[in-house]
């Protein structure tokens, strides 16, 4: 999951940040999340829900691994221990569960 999360983060996240985080807010392009109607409509699509779950969840397993080893590299021995592993990888699991809950409860399923 470390590799898959890394690949997904590399392939997909930059364009989301560029469009939804920079170009949209600056008004350079029209973006789907700038209006409630378009945003809630696309969030109801099951393929979009699945895509967003994968986009958010898998990279977190990659991030958990990298950030834990960042602490190890910074000379924090506790980062090798079980409690820290539980916090980091458990955090990735928690984000996954929250993402599932948010995606299932935010917009009703719609194929339109």
The residues of the shown chain that bind other proteins, judged by CB under 8 A, are 6-7, 9-22, 24-27, 29-43, 52, 55-56, 59-60, 62-63, 66-67, 69-70, 73-75, 95, 98-99, 102-103, 105-107
Half-sphere exposure of 69 (CA within 13 A, CB side): 6
Instruction: Tell me if 103 sits within 8 A of 47, measured CB to CB.
Output: no
Q: Which of 38, 40, 41, 43 is nearest to 55 (CA)?
A: 43
Residue with smaller CB distance to other proteins, 83 or 91: 91
CB of 53 to other proteins, least distance (A): 10
CB of 50 to other proteins, least distance (A): 13
């Amino acid at each position: 999951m470390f590799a898959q999360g890394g690949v997904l983060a590399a392939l997909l996240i930059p364009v989301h940040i560029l469009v939804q985080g920079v170009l949209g807010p600056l008004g350079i392009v029209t973006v789907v999340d700038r209006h409630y109607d378009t945003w809630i409509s696309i969030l109801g699509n099951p393929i979009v829900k699945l895509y967003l779950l994968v986009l958010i969840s898998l990279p977190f397993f990659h991030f958990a691994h990298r950030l834990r080893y960042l602490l190890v590299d910074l000379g924090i021995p506790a980062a090798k221990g079980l409690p820290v592993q539980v916090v980091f990888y458990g955090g990735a699991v928690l984000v996954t569960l929250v993402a599932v809950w948010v995606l299932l409860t935010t917009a009703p399923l719609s194929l339109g």
